[in-house]
Every structure is written in structure tokens, then in C-alpha cells.
């Protein structure tokens, strides 16, 4: 049975600045992309040119019937050099916020989505001697433009940031969630401290952070081992949000844990473009797991699938939303669903993985709305989460 939601439920889509804006030249990732012998196969370049075309993107979102847009403010643009705050960059992001409000779209703003200024990384990054002071200084600079923003995410997927830091130290071979080593605990603790300090700067603005939920599942006899994996890689970050105004849940697939660690999916299992198991049940499981640990409102800030088959995108999203509907029907406090992503964008080294509801021509930047986007917009207009297929 379809599950109706309140009129205040957020139906939207998400992006991140580095992945869609283009020419984020003062950032650490831009430096990595463009260095000699870069480990990344492709560069972000002009990306989707959303820095200039954000109005068009907002019009598409609104016309689909969606009422929320999650986007980021890029620290490297706001503070391209230490202590130099760009008034022009702040004005740009304020215009985006006002553009959302003028269109009846709720802005959900992320302050840090993986990328940092290059100077921050050179100074030691999150474990540098001045990291917390530098990040809170940036948040303090941004705070005046956030009037009218009801949802602010301080840091996106801090658990992934800490695990990638550990990967860089250990030489782990890839970024598949289950293959990552435990987080660099110094980085994890620094991120938690930075998050709490940032919330202190945001006063009356509702704030939280977003977690990469990996839906750890144990094979028989490995429950304790799976719990240890989950605590290091996910649960300590969920627990750090216990006093927040909300928490962002971000789920795509699952990781099955055996006595010796992650168990590969069945070779016959469906896979997405990125190599993950096709597992739309991850969203319901992630929401239920998060609600079992802390009692704060939940906002689904990312969920989607990398696929070139738009029918498969609709199938995955339908099943994920049906699971979310079961959680809502059981009384879990879920305030909205933001699909990843609005656009086919730069996926951290590759343009091959298409998550978007809207295709973007790499040469002309022409936007083409996919049928899955129109289907999703119809759900939003009806205000119901779908029943099972």
C-alpha cells in the first residue's frame, strides 16, 4: 500500500559543488586531478557548469514537482587563501539560496562535501594544528548568508573522509566501502570535533551531518565481527550526532561481513556501473539502523543508483522508496528524501557513472530530463511513498 507523507515532507535531489560547478581551481581535489601522474582517470574541468547554470537546474527541479534541493557551498571558493574571504563567492551562494526560496524550493545546504581548499590540505588537513579554528572561521564567514535555510549539513560523509585518509596511509586498493580499512581515528576525532564546533557557530539554524551508511550485514556466526566493523566505520559517527537537530542518511548498497571481513557478493548478483551490488533495501535498513542508535529526525540526503538504464533507475528508486515507506509507516521520524543526484555529474575521477535524474551533454551542457525524473516528480506531487512492486 502507498504511504502518504506530510505536506512538509521534502521531495528533492542533491548535488555537490565540486561535482557540478566546474573549475574549482583552488581546491585540493583540483590539484590532485591536474598533477602529473594523477591517480584519477578523468578531470572535473567545467563539470556541469552549474556555477553559472544553477537557475536552469532549479527551474528543472521545481517544474518536476520537487520541493527541495541539496547543494553545497565550496570552501575553496569562499576562502581561496587563508583568511581571504571572497565576498563575491558568498554573494553567489546567497543568490542560490534566494533562488530556491523564490521558487518554493527548500534549500538544504552542505558546508563541506569532500573537498577543501588546497592550502588547508597543505597545512595538514583535518589533523593540522589549526584545523578546527580554520574550519569554524569558514563557517562563521558563511553564517550570515544562511538566513532562510532550514537545514544545514556541516560535513558530508565524515566516515568516508576518515576511511580515505586511512586508505592513503595503508595503500588499500580501492574505494569500495567494504574494502576500506578502519578510519584513521585521529581524522575521525578531528572531524567530530570540527562538526561540533561548526554547530556552535550556526546558533538558531538547524544543523547536522550526513553519514555514508553501508548497511553492514552479518553471515551466521559473524554478528559480533560485523558490529565491530560497523562501529569503526559508521556507528561512532552516528553516535556523534546524538544531540544534533537531524542526521542525514546516505545509502546505496550493502556490505556483508563474515569472520574474515567483507564477503564478496554472489558473482551472479546484479551490479551497478560503479560495481556495487544492486540492493535497494539498503535505504530502509540504514534508516532503521540509524533510528535504533539515536533519536533525532532523519533526512535521507542521498540515495540512488549509477546506471545507464533509466528503467533500472526507476526500479531501484521505487524499491528504495517502498522500503522507506515501511519505515515511515512504523513511525520512524523521516523528514524527506533527496535523490542522488539531480544531474549526471563528475563522480570523483570519472564521468562514466551516471546517477542523475537529468542527463548533461558534456560539450554543450544541455540538460535532458529522464523519464525516471518525471516518475519521481509525480510521486512528489501525489505526496505518497510507493508500495511494494
Q: Could you list the active site residues?
A: 157
**Euclidean distance between CA atoms 202 and 302, whole angstroms:** 23
| Non-local CB neighbours of 383 within 8 Å, separated by 6+ positions | 4, 5, 7, 9
Nearest to 234 by CA among 259, 203, 255, 204: 255
Q: What angle do CA 70, 75, 81 make, to 5 degrees?
A: 165
The dihedral sign for the CA sequence 320, 294, 5, 302: negative
Three-class SS state of 299? strand
Q: List 218's β-bridge partners, or say none.
A: 257
Nearest to 337 by CA among 364, 303, 311: 303
**Euclidean distance between CA atoms 278 and 272, whole angstroms:** 6
Q: What angle do CA 148, 106, 205 make, to 5 degrees?
A: 40
* Residue 107 burial (C-beta neighbours within 10 Å; 0-12, 13-18, 19+): buried
The conformation of residue 81, written as its DSSP 8-state character, comes to B
Amino acid at each position: 500500500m502507498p504511504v502518504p507523507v506530510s505536506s512538509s515532507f521534502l521531495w528533492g535531489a542533491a548535488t555537490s559543488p565540486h561535482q557540478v560547478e566546474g573549475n574549482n581551481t583552488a581546491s585540493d581535489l583540483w590539484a590532485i586531478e591536474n598533477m602529473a601522474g594523477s591517480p584519477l582517470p578523468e578531470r572535473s574541468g567545467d563539470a556541469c557548469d552549474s556555477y553559472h547554470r544553477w537557475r536552469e537546474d532549479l527551474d528543472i527541479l521545481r517544474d518536476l514537482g520537487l520541493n527541495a534541493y541539496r547543494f553545497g557551498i565550496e570552501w575553496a571558493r569562499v576562502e581561496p587563501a587563508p583568511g581571504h574571504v571572497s565576498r563575491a563567492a558568498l554573494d553567489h551562494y546567497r543568490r542560490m539560496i534566494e533562488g530556491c526560496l523564490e521558487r518554493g524550493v527548500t534549500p538544504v545546504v552542505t558546508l563541506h562535501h569532500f573537498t577543501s581548499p588546497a592550502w588547508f590540505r597543505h597545512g595538514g588537513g583535518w589533523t593540522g594544528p589549526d584545523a578546527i579554528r580554520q574550519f569554524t572561521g569558514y563557517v562563521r564567514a558563511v553564517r550570515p548568508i544562511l538566513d532562510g535555510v532550514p537545514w544545514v549539513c556541516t560535513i558530508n560523509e565524515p566516515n568516508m573522509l576518515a576511511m580515505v585518509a586511512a586508505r592513503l596511509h595503508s595503500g588499500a586498493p580501492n574505494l569500495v566501502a567494504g574494502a576500506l580499512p578502519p578510519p584513521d581515528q585521529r581524522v575521525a576525532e578531528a572531524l567530530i570535533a570540527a562538526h561540533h564546533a561548526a554547530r556552535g557557530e550556526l546558533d538558531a539554524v538547524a544543523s547536522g551531518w550526513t553519514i555514508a551508511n553501508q548497511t553492514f550485514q552479518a553471515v551466521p556466526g559473524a554478528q559480533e565481527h560485523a558490529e565491530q566493523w560497523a562501529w569503526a566505520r559508521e556507528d561512532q559517527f552516528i553516535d556523534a550526532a546524538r544531540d544534533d537537530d537531524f542526521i542525514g542518511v546516505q545509502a546505496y548498497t550493502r556490505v556483508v561481513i563474515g569472520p574474515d571481513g567483507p564477503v564478496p557478493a554472489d558473482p551472479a548478483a546484479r551490479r551497478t556501473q560503479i560495481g556495487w551490488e544492486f540492493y535497494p533495501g539498503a535505504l530502509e535498513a540504514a534508516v532503521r539502523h540509524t533510528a535504533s542508535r539515536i533519536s533525532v529526525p532523519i533526512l535521507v540526503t542521498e540515495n540512488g543508483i549509477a546506471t545507464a538504464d533509466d528503467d533500472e533507475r526507476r526500479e531501484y528508486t521505487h524499491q528504495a522508496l517502498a522500503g522507506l515507506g515501511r519505515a515511515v509507516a512504523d513511525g520512524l521520524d523521516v523528514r524527506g528524501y533527496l535523490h542522488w543526484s539531480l544531474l549526471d555529474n563528475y563522480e570523483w575521477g570519472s564521468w562514466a557513472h551516471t546517477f542523475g535524474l537529468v542527463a548533461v551533454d558534456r560539450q554543450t551542457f544541455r540538460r535532458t530530463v529522464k523519464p525516471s525524473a518525471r516518475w519521481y516528480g509525480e510521486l512528489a506531487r501525489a505526496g505518497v511513498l510507493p508500495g511494494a512492486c
